[in-house]
Amino acid sequence: MEYRTEHDSMGEVQVPAEAYWGAQTERSRNNFQIGQGCEPMPAEIIRAFGILKKAAACANHTLRPEKMTEEKYRAICAACDEVIAGELAAHFPLVVWQTGSGTQSNMNANEVIANRGNELLGKKLLHPNDDVNMSQSSNDTFPTAMHIAAVLSVRNGVLPALEALIEEFCRLEAENDGVVKSGRTHLQDATPIKFSQEISGWRSSLEKDKKMLLLAIQELSELALGGTAVGTGLNAPKGFDRTVAAQISALTEVNFRTADNKFHALTSKDELVFAHGALKALAADLWKIANDIRWLASGPRCGLGEIKIPENEPGSSIMPGKVNPTQCEAVTMVAVQVMGNDTAVGLAASQGNFELNVFMPVCAYNFLQSARLLAEVMVSFRKHCVSGIVADRQRMHRNLHESLMLVTALNPYIGYENAAKTAKLAHAENISLREACIRLGFLTPERFDEVFHPEEMV
């Protein structure tokens, strides 16, 4: 491999000749060989850096035209567009496990944009610190990149997948409006419920999760950019924070705004904790729904068997014909991961010592993984499971009429204790509630038939 000599404030460094990164990136690449190849800085963060660096160049061109000249501005924007498009992904080699401020990833972006911009210009005009990083610090750019990435991952990934799943449950709900089945609590028989009502519970849970995520996006839309090193805004021109937030909003079509208190924005990650809490709530609901579906589909002969789900692949290497609820299992595994990530995000956010949080890369990594996994698993779950759910109406009807908890309908006519005696006799002797109630003398056959209508108990 051929190398070129780059330098930074610490001296000279040999960098791969074809790489756009510079000395500081190369130092980090050599000093943090941890998780290489499997845990790089998330692509969402790199794209967010492209967005914020372009917005910063625009703000500087407006507020400091003597320093951010038209020529520099256009070159930075052109390079940033390539970063945003993912065309320079190979030039961002750093891993999550680096400095807790993300400084080296900020410098990675500065160096790549400067060197690519210079290449486009055909001359060395841009400096990574003086030009690409103008009016900024790693301490305000990395938290800004985190918020941009988090908002976009929720808005463009999680929410569309969630909305499509909600729509699928709406269709399933309407399709099963007249189907009555046995309800269940504590994994035991309970009073009847319409299958559509059961589905409505799933659908409503997801709608609540959507509301919480939209609320979380509002908080995440505050940006630290403009606070520079410790929140005071040193070396940033007046109005830079508002101007750059407006530019980021224009680039992303999201209403971002500058944080009112930059000291808070640099050191606290509570907005990410709050937003990840909404992701965890979604994970918890998905887990519950997936569990309900695999319980209802259990069998096919020795389980509940009240619904049929798509048979996507063989379920056993030894048991011919076995098919498993694999999509439900994928959902529950993702939920486990998201809940583990929530612990990591919360612990990382608690480490805001003095004027800066120094656990930002791991916080971003876990948040974005949760958002990515939830979005992808919801698409898979909808396409390969929920869309193919079919109620076994005959099985539901049989289970409903075998449920001893239908005796609850008799409470107003024979009282709770007599109803309990009826259920116990029916269970002990494996007879119907009707036969038990009549044998005990609580109701005549005609009166029982008059008052006992399970389908009307919903």
What pLDDT was estimated at residue 36? 85
The pair of three-digit structure tokens given for residue 107, joined into one six-digit string: 């410098």
Domain with CATH 1.10.275.10 in the chain: 3-134
The residue whose two tokens read 């941890």 is 34
- Please determine, looking at this structure, whether the domain spanning 3-134 carries the CATH number 1.10.275.10: yes
Q: Could you read off the pLDDT tens digit of each residue along the chain, which spans 458 residues?
A: 899 999 999 999 999 999 999 999 999 999 999 998 899 999 999 999 999 999 999 999 999 999 999 999 999 999 999 999 999 999 999 999 999 999 999 999 999 999 999 999 999 999 999 999 999 999 999 999 999 999 999 999 999 999 999 999 999 999 999 999 999 999 999 999 999 999 999 999 999 999 999 999 999 999 999 999 999 999 999 999 999 999 999 999 999 999 999 999 999 999 999 999 999 999 999 999 999 999 999 999 999 999 999 999 999 999 999 999 999 999 999 999 999 999 999 999 999 889 999 999 999 999 999 999 999 999 999 999 999 999 999 999 999 999 999 999 999 999 999 999 999 999 999 999 999 999 999 999 999 999 999 889 99
What pLDDT was estimated at residue 14? 97
Residue 182 appears among annotated catalytic residues: no
Candidates 1.20.200.10, 2.120.10.30, 3.30.70.20, 3.90.1150.10; correct CATH number of 152-179+194-220+263-392? 1.20.200.10
Q: Strands (DSSP E) along 303-374, which ranges?
A: 307-308, 352-353, 356-357
What pLDDT was estimated at residue 352? 80
Domain with CATH 1.10.40.30 in the chain: 403-456
The pair of three-digit structure tokens given for residue 3, joined into one six-digit string: 């190398």
Backbone angles phi, psi at 256, to 5 degrees: -80, 155
The pair of three-digit structure tokens given for residue 83, joined into one six-digit string: 């970063």
Q: In a 10 Å sphere around its CB, with 0-12 CB exposed, 13-18 middle and 19+ buried, how is residue 12 labelled?
A: exposed
The pair of three-digit structure tokens given for residue 377, joined into one six-digit string: 């698993």
**From the candidates 7, 316, 427, 453, which is the catalytic residue?**
316
Query: In this structure, are residues 344 and 273 in contact, taking their beta carbons and an 8 Å threshold?
Result: no
How much of the chain is helix, strand and coil, in % rounded to 5? 60, 10, 30
Of the candidates 50, 71, 116, which has an alpha carbon nearest to the alpha carbon of residue 251?
Answer: 50
Residue 186 appears among annotated catalytic residues: yes
Query: In this structure, are residues 406 and 454 in contact, taking their beta carbons and an 8 Å threshold?
Result: yes
Of the candidates 94, 119, 118, 92, which has an alpha carbon nearest to the alpha carbon of residue 30?
Answer: 94
Distance CA 431, CA 422 (A): 10
Distance CA 113, CA 37 (A): 23
Of the candidates 245, 262, 257, which has an alpha carbon nearest to the alpha carbon of residue 217?
Answer: 257
Domain with CATH 1.20.200.10 in the chain: 152-179+194-220+263-392
What pLDDT was estimated at residue 414? 97
Amino acid identity of residue 111, one-letter, is: E
Of the candidates 163, 363, 189, which has an alpha carbon nearest to the alpha carbon of residue 270?
Answer: 363
Which 3 state secondary structure label does DSSP give 401? helix
Of the candidates 47, 35, 32, 138, which has an alpha carbon nearest to the alpha carbon of residue 358?
Answer: 138
Distance CA 118, CA 95 (A): 26
Distance CA 245, CA 222 (A): 9
Q: Is 299 left (phi over 0), alpha (psi -120 to 50) or beta?
A: left
CA 228 to chain centre: 29
Beta bridge pairs of residue 390: 308
- 375 vs 38, 161, 190, 335, 421, CA distance in Å? 20, 6, 34, 12, 51
**From the candidates 105, 135, 137, 186, which is the catalytic residue?**
186
Distance CA 97, CA 39 (A): 8
b/e code 294-308 from CB counts within 10 Å (16+ = b): bbbbeeeeeebbbbb
Q: What is the CA radius of gyration of the chain?
A: 30
What pLDDT was estimated at residue 37? 84
The CATH topology of domain 403-456 is Ribonucleotide Reductase Protein R1; domain 1 (1.10.40)
